[in-house]
Structure 1
Amino acid sequence: MNQKKIYTGLNDREVADSRRKYGENLLTPPRQTPLWLRFLRKFKDPLVIILIVAGFFSICISFYEHYGLDEGAEVFFEPVGIFVAIFLATGMAFFFEEKANRAFAVLNQVDDDEPVEVIRNGNTTKIAKRNVVVGDVVLLNTGAEVPADGVLLEATALHVDESSLTGEPVCRKSTHREDFDKEATFPTDHVLRGTKVMEGHGVFRVEKVGDSTENGKVFVASQIDNSVKTPLTEQLERLSRLVTRASYAIAAVILIARLAMFFLSCDFSWIHFLQYLLDSVMICVTLIVVAVPEGLPMAVTLSLAYSMRRMLKTSNLVRKMHACETMGATTVICTDKTGTLTQNQMRVHEMEIDCTTAEHQALAWEGIAVNSTASLDFSDPRHPTVLGNPTEGALLLWLHDQGCDYRQLRAGAEVIDELPFSTERKCMGTLVRSARLPGKTILYIKGATDIIRHDCTSVMGNRSWDEIGARLLAWQNQAMRTLGFACMILPEDFGISMQEGAISKILDSMKERQCGLVFQGIVAIADPVRKEVPAAVRECLDAGIDVKIVTGDTPGTAKEIGRQVGLWTEKDNDSSVITGPEFEALSDDKLARRVGSLKIIARARPMDKRRLVEALQAQNEVVAVTGDGTNDAPALKAAHVGLSMGDGTSVAKEASDITIIDNSFRSIGRAVMWGRSLYQNIQRFILFQMTVNVAACLIVLAGALIGTQSPLTVTQMLWVNLIMDTFAAIALASLPPLESVMHDKPRDRHAFIITPSMNRQIIGVGGFFFALLLGLLYLLEYASVSSMSGLLAWHGGGKRELTNHELSLFFTVFVMLQFWNMFNARAFATGRSAFHFKGCGGFGMIALMVFVGQVFIVQFGGRMFNVTPLSLADWFAIIASTSFVLWIGELVRLFGRKRRSLWQ
């Protein structure tokens, strides 16, 4: 037998002393790779290595030219510029990836902040897991994760999953020596950090924390899994392979063409050939560096990091990064009711329990107090808060409102056995030696009225079952949760051993003994719909996402909630709702035909939810599932995205991908919006980068084929690559989400990331840039141009070499075309002007950095970047003449908006 005790726990001074002596409940993270080594790893890319080797040989030739041929020190400028550009590009990439990693690192701290129920200063309260100290008295309930190692003080039907340490999925725990398993890896009366309570409840005293725990001894810090291959990463890999092959082919053609042009020339010497060969190799390799979208992983990483950080502000704590993107492709949301659609602030609406006599009242109040796993936190005596199950907590609050202290009732009753609640049983029981009725052994039962009535032989107050049923139906039609209470005073000669397991034997023997429970009464507990939920559900429905309610409540309650949130309408009929037993009875073929039309599954059991998810996935749906209990874990793991609730169990959170901190359905809609916007941001980056790729590859190829010198040098192309892969990735990946994406239908998760409209823009704009630049190259090649205004007075002459000033004009025009096109890419698929900067301050700052960087390089880059300073007039002329790219884009978007408005 288990005598209930009142524990006082540690006081504040004892907590401080324990923390000083034994330390905090934190695991020391593993030693990280040094920062300098992580930086050097950025140079492992084969293309970067080739550039470095080529740059080294270029320096060697420069030494020969300087010391052997007596040329000036300016021969060192270009090879030094190559190394500066390489270090700048890799350094910027390293900096922003480190910044993204720091954003992810916060997720590793989530587990340490999980709330734990402890008793301190004689009061039950919640503290962060990290704040647990040796000597703390900790309460364990079903679904909780054990926060530290300790010895059990109480254990009721307690089963713990120790697979994380021993491989044993379920171990029975007990405080009775006769139940100890001598062959167990760890003592039967001990619980260990990191293990999970699968059933029952208990109380234990902490003996070890942090690194001293068994979990700490074998701890290997978990890292965020960035290797999950989502539809997005698969599409990006496909795109990378396509562009890589094309760029290698173009580079090979350029190399062959340049070598052919060299051999056709009359001036041949081995030193010049070697220099020319190195220049050609570096141009080809640099072109590949520019063309290959190595910035895509950074764009995805930065987009995810930005989204994860900003989603936290909308109460979405992303635990697995791929969930950000997958939420954007969601087509079905299977949501639970309590706490997600409703406020999860359970309060007794009406209590109809017989208290007409002192004995009946004693039975009622003691039953509510002892037959419960919830507790109240009296940190604020005027407003106690519920710890544990909200429904049971509502009953304790009702008892508190009656002026009764449930703690005294619990302390006075001697608990013999407990029958924990389960979704299959739908009731719970406690067998006690009563303090309110001395000398009496009483069995208290609480649960679904339609379940426990079968074990009742009488009703207190002489009410009829028809009357009780009608009252229950009226409450359920108002979306209230209902419970029934029953009890049985056992005669002294009942003939069953009063020990653990006695309740099951009593219930099994009732029919044989022709005795049963006495039904005490019923209660209605209200949990109103959250105010923001109807609009949030409507938003998801308008976005083409089906919403299905999966709940353990009755069909009447579920339909009423569905009606209040706007999911259940007058057009719906009984074919859209099904109960758990009916759902289980459906064959796979029938379920496949019916699953799309289902809106509500009532009286659902754990495996019903998982089967629903798998049936929807078989129909090619992308499924998101919400859940807060241990029983929801199978469905959360099976879903494409599992969404646990902020006050859910540790098991549910462990199985989920995203934790909804405020438990609100509105936050789920925000997650979908972020996912869709993230996907569009990546598309914008690809649109911008591929347009530059087309223009750069074609212009360098054309230069090689027509026999001119390369219009873009190695250092200039590396600067262009820095703009594309780093700055553009940051600028376009950090754009804020658009609510307009919630008016679109879910995207096809198998569709290629480059849409037909993107294809048209990439080929059209990239080809136009190439034609424009080729024409400019021709003008510069066949005339002496000293300023942009000189192009207006152009007169063709004989072919000649391009001057550094002309190359500076060409390089700046090339960059400014891409600069203005970055604004067009930003406005892609927004339906807005490119000048709409609300919430886009980061984009504006980065655009300014690109422009200032270009000015700095041209004005001060000199031989390092093969440029000469331009006049102020040239800058104004280039900015004005290239800005037509943006103005044309604005006109196209304006006419597009007008055309859409006419059709609407």
Structure 2
Amino acid sequence: MDMDGARGLSSAEVEKSRQKHGANELTQGERQSFLRQFLASFGDPIIKILLAALAINVILLFREANWFESVGIALAIFLATFVSTLSEYGSESAFLKLQEEAAAARCRVRRSGLVTEIPIGELVVGDIVLLQAGEGIPADGRLVSGWLSVDQSALNGESAEQRKTPGGAEKDFLSPSGLFRGAIVCAGDGVMCVTSVGDSTFYGSMAREMQESTRESPLKVRLEKLAGVLSKIGLAAGLFVAGADLFNSFFLSCDMDPALIAMQFQNPGAVIGHVLHAATLAITVVVVAVPEGLPMMITVVLSSNMKRMLRDHVLVRKLVGIETSGSLNILFTDKTGTLTRGKLKVSGFVCGNGQRFENLAQMKRHRALWEQFALCCYYNNAAALSGKRALGGNATDRALLEAVAPVPAQIEGRLKTVGVPFDSTRKFSSVRLGGAGAVSLVKGAPEKLLPACVSYLDEQGARHTLASKAALEAEWRGMTNKAMRVLALAVADHPVNGESDLRGLTLIGLVGIRDELRREAPAAIREAQQAGIQIVMITGDNRETAAAIAADAGLLDRTDSLIVTSAELQRMSDDELTRRLPSLRVVARALPTDKSRLVRVAQQCGLVAGMTGDGINDAPALKKADVGFAMGSGTEVAKEAGDIVVMDDNFASITRAVLYGRTIFKSIRKFVIFQLTMNLCAVGVSIVGPFLQIDTPVTVVQMLWINIIMDTLAGLAFAGEPPLPEYMKEKPKKRDEPVLNPYMLHQILWMGIYTIALCLAFLKLPVFQDLYRQSAGPIYLQTGFFTLFILCGVCNSFNTRTYRLNLMANLQRNTLFTAIMGAVVLIQVGLVYWGGTLFRTAPLTMGELALVALLSLTVVPVDLIRKAALRAKGMRGSI
């Protein structure tokens, strides 16, 4: 078969090729069903503890009739696992999106001498595919005839279109004839010979990467450690309680009399009874010690922040991605569209006499020069205006056309004759305008046009001899160093139909075009760097352009900042890259495979790695990263692969996501402090109470109300904590950093022990028994204790939400917290007066209620003493 594809493959050749190389379809791995993912979510470390607690409770259900605890734990387990599964289900949807797009596409092929249209899944190696503007490239191959201008940005992130001509091999995206599945034809007509299909294409290799499993999130790693700590604490407490109860039953109850003790052991029924009582008490303590509200709270705090983040243009697809973003150590970010606007724009102009115009508004004041500039941009252009928006052409043409829109009325309506279209070899284009004042307009590379210029136009449009070009060349280099693409614009009186006509030109000026940095990008990068996050820019630009953009953005923050190209990166071993990673700031001429490798090496270094992306090529790296930030204007595949979608493509929105992530982790820690303090108090009273002849200070129904406060309401209250800018001045938390840090343990133990002592003193000291009418029955003292326990928790929640001495700091920004705690107080007061036998309460006098309130308020100054003592030692609180 001749290589221009005169006949194409025959039916027999198609079948033979399909058997040898396969079809143009992507292989899909087995996908978990919703049920399987739901069952897998029970492997969460905290959920395992809750399941064990639930099993114990069910076993003891008939003995203790403690049904509310069993129902509460079961409900917490179900809701936490179900919501989590809903969030994570569809994690393979990025791959499915690829398949959907592939199934919907068709292409034109030549087979047995006939042109036919087939689904791209039926393509085989050796097929001849006909391509024209607007069509997608259906497989990997090489151009065998014609020419194409191809947009490969979805594959390599490079916004500049690539011109493809026959000849050579399809080694990489920069090869002159290589065509790759997923790219779009922008202009031209051509014929492609297919060389790779299905999984063998570059597109297919990305699909395989997207099906690889990813590592556990930092939050799950931390929760596993917390589960281990809590299980050990609960087991130790249970054993201690069992031992203490047995000692009390066998020894203290017998006043340590050896004869009585011996009698105890001689009665098997009594021994078994004491052992069962101790075991029941120990199991109760273990169950109470488990923070069953934690999984639910984490789901609540993550979900409730999704809406707030959406207002800041951050759409969360996977709940765990929110918290993970707060732990980022390193962020690999695209340049185009994230740090820059993603659109070329005229950024400067230099006249032939060296006069610079930093913006076009300055230039418009010089009418004659502006008209010549607008004339050249408008007519010597392959794009067309639709209102103020340019359509068609390449990105450079569109930038020039939009720079002069709306076009001055006096230059419209001229008769245009095409002279020479732009060609990458010729490096210039020209048009001829007829009628009165006929003139040729020339646009091209400065190195091509400047030697042909003999004169120039000044600011007033007057023509002068161009004696020296040294100053212009210096301006040209200066614009290039600022990452500008520089073009020369010129006019000629004679037709310019070829290179031989490049003589006697009059220079209009040098125009600089570049993808401008977003105005807010440098400040956002500084904020991220202050937060201890290393930013690495990945771009398809050359080293010089990439370095200029990075310098403007503030990325080169150190004298040893490292800039490497993809080729240099590939020559580095993983060990060398690991050593040099801390100083890496820019990767130029990057390939898609570089992104996945960088993420892998960063993760091997123990770093939490983030990746931004918008193209199909970015999907594997987005999925592999600990948190993937897909751009809102990007491909659907990238969005499906990412954890978070940045709706406005803005780097500043990524820093907002980091702030929210840090706020959420702090909210989780605040909840842990609050709940474990209340749990410690409940366990402490359960342990010490029997030795002081205090039995069942809290009823089953009262405990239900306490659990509602500890689990649901407190979770909602702390979920509304505001994101504070000060969080962005802290270093990132380590991936395996424990949820419980020394500061938190100090607060839990300090306040837990104090609250235990306060509750026991209230129940046993005669002064309180007299004040609460013990002679009239225990109901009033029990009501006072119930209220004291609740109000101590409310007051302690204010201690917990801030490390500051001022407990009201930023409280106005979490109105939900105030509303919930206020509602708890009102409901508790209502239960005192109207709870009756259901809640085992009796109406207290105003004096008795006031005394309980004052006693509960003492937890505030007691905790302030702790905070002040730590500050005196130079230990400012940190959660």
Question: Are residue 384 (structure 1) and residue 396 (structure 2) matched?
Answer: no
So what's the TM-score if we normalise by structure 2? 0.63
Partner residue, 2:838? 864
Pick from 771, 779, 797: which aligns with 1:787?
Answer: 771
Whether 1:198 aligns to 2:182 is yes
Change (3 A) 1:847 1:589: same
Match of 2:29 in 1: none
Contact 1:479 1:561 in 2 (8 A): yes
CA contact (8 A) 2:483 2:549 kept: yes
Distance between the aligned counterparts of 1:760 and 1:635, measured in 2? 41
Structure 2 CA distance for partners of 1:536 and 1:457, relative to 1, 3 Å: closer
> Hey, what's the Cα distance between the residues in 1 that align with 2:623 and 2:471?
43
Q: Classify 1:583/1:281 alpha carbon distance in 2 versus 1 (closer, same or farther; 3 Å).
A: closer
Are 2:646 and 1:660 aligned?
Answer: yes
TM-superposition CA deviations, 1:357-407 (whole Å, max 9, x none): xxxx9999999538xxxx97x4xx3x3266998656435646976699xxx
SS, match of residue 659 in structure 1: strand
User: How many residue pairs end up in the alignment?
Assistant: 692
Deviations 1:657-712 (A, max 9, x none): 22211122211211111111111111111111121222211210122345542333
1:147–1:819 CA distance, 2 compared to 1 (3 A): farther
- SS for the counterpart of 1:729 is helix
- Tell me if the contact between 1:826 and 1:834 (Cα under 8 Å) persists in the aligned partners: no
Partner of 2:329: 331
Aligned counterpart, 1:701? 687
Q: How does 1:130-145 map to 2 (within 5 A)?
A: none
Q: 2:315 aligns to what SS in structure 1?
A: strand
Partner SS, residue 338 of structure 1: coil
Quote the residue 2:201 is aligned against. none
**Residue 527 of structure 1: SS of its match in structure 2?**
strand
Residues 834 and 890, structure 1, Cα contact 8 Å, conserved in 2: no
Partner SS state of residue 715, structure 1? helix
Q: Using the TM superposition, give the Cα deviation of residue 305 of structure 1 relative to its aligned residue in structure 2, in angstroms.
A: 1.0
2-structure distance, mates of 1:170, 1:309: 51
Match of 2:219 among 232, 243, 251: 232
Could you tell me which of 623, 630, 642 is aligned with 1:644? Answer: 630
**Residues 108-507 of structure 1: matches in 2 within 5 Å?**
146=101, 149=104, 198-201=182-185, 229-248=216-235, 250-251=237-238, 254=241, 286-349=284-347, 369=382, 378=386, 381=387, 383-384=388-389, 393-394=398-399, 397=402, 473-481=477-485
1:754 Cα offset (Å): 0.8
- 3-state SS, counterpart of residue 752 of structure 1: coil
**Residues of 1 paired with 2:126 and 2:844: CA distance?**
76
Aligned mates of 2:622, 2:83 — CA distance in 1: 30
Judged with a 3 Å threshold, the aligned counterparts in structure 2 of structure 1 residues 778 and 607 are, in CA distance, closer, same or farther, namely same
- Hey, what does 1:576 align to over in structure 2? 562
| 1:2-57 residue CA offsets vs partner (Å, 9 max, x unmatched) | 9xxxxxxxxxxxxxxxxxxxxxxxxxxx9999xxxx9xxx9995645765675666
**Corresponding residue for 1:503?**
none
Distance across 2 between alignment mates of 1:703 and 1:171: 84
CA 1:320–1:95 in structure 2 vs 1: closer, same or farther (change >3 Å)?
closer
- d(CA) in 2 for partners of 1:270 and 1:254? 22
Distance 1:100 1:32 in 2: 12
Percent of aligned positions that are identical:
30
Checking the alignment, whether the CA contact within 8 Å between 2:759 and 2:789 is kept in structure 1 is yes
Aligned to 1:817: 792
Q: Is the 8 A contact 2:485 2:514 kept in 1?
A: yes
Contact 1:290/1:721 (<8 A) preserved: no
Report how far residue 843 of structure 1 moved.
0.7
Q: Is the 8 A contact 1:146 1:197 kept in 2?
A: no
Per-residue deviation, residues 251-303 of structure 1 (Å, max 9, x unmatched):
4665676688779699x999999999999887665544432112111121112
CA RMSD of aligned residues (A): 6.0
Counterparts in 2 of 1:747 and 1:31: CA distance versus 1, 3 Å: closer
Tell me which of 820, 823, 826 is aligned to 1:852: 826
Amino acid at match of 2:313: S
Query: What are the within-5 Å matches in structure 2 for residues 856-895 of structure 1?
Result: 856-890=830-864, 892-893=866-867
Q: How far apart, in 1, do the equivalents of 2:827 and 2:618 lie? A: 53
* Distance in 1 (alpha carbons) for counterparts of 2:655 and 2:525: 8
Within 5 Å, which residues of 2 pair with 1:655-804? 655-779=641-765, 785-788=769-772, 803-804=778-779
Query: What is the CA deviation profile of residues 421-458 of structure 1, one whole-angstrom value per residue up to 9, with x for unaligned ones?
Result: xxxxxx8999xxx999xxxxxxxxx99x79xx9xx999
Please say if residues 333 and 548 of structure 1, whose CA atoms lie closer than 8 Å, have aligned partners that are also in contact.
yes
Q: Which amino acid aligns with 2:860?
A: L
Structure 1 residues 279 and 726 mapped into 2: Cα distance closer, same or farther (>3 Å)?
A: farther
Mapped contact 2:331–2:534 kept (Cα < 8 A)? yes
SS for the counterpart of 1:340 is coil
Q: Which amino acid aligns with 1:651?
A: V
The one-letter amino acid paired with 1:384 is R
Give the residue type in structure 2 aligned to 1:740: E
Higher mean alpha-carbon deviation, 395-404 vs 670-679, is at: 395-404
Which letter does structure 2 place at the counterpart of 1:872?
M
Q: Check conservation: 1:107, 1:319, Cα contact below 8 A.
A: no
Q: Secondary structure at the match of 1:877?
A: helix
Assess, with a 3 A threshold, how the Cα gap between structure 1 residues 169 and 231 changes in structure 2: closer, same or farther. farther
Gaps of 5+ in 2: 6-32, 42-46, 111-116, 139-154, 156-179, 188-211, 255-259, 352-373, 410-416, 434-442, 456-467, 490-498
**CA distance, structure 2, for counterparts of residue 873 and residue 169 of structure 1:** 91
- Summarize the Cα distance change of 1:844–1:659 in structure 2 as closer, same or farther, 3 Å threshold: same
Which piece of structure 1 moves more, 725-734 or 279-288? 279-288
Compared CA separation, residues 634 and 470, structure 1 to 2 (3 A): farther
Please tell me whether residue 543 in structure 1 is matched to residue 531 in structure 2.
Answer: yes
Task: Summarize the Cα distance change of 1:835–1:95 in structure 2 as closer, same or farther, 3 Å threshold.
Answer: farther
1:531 counterpart (484, 507, 519): 519
SS in 2 for 1:369: coil
Q: Secondary structure at the match of 1:735?
A: coil
- Partner SS, residue 642 of structure 1: strand
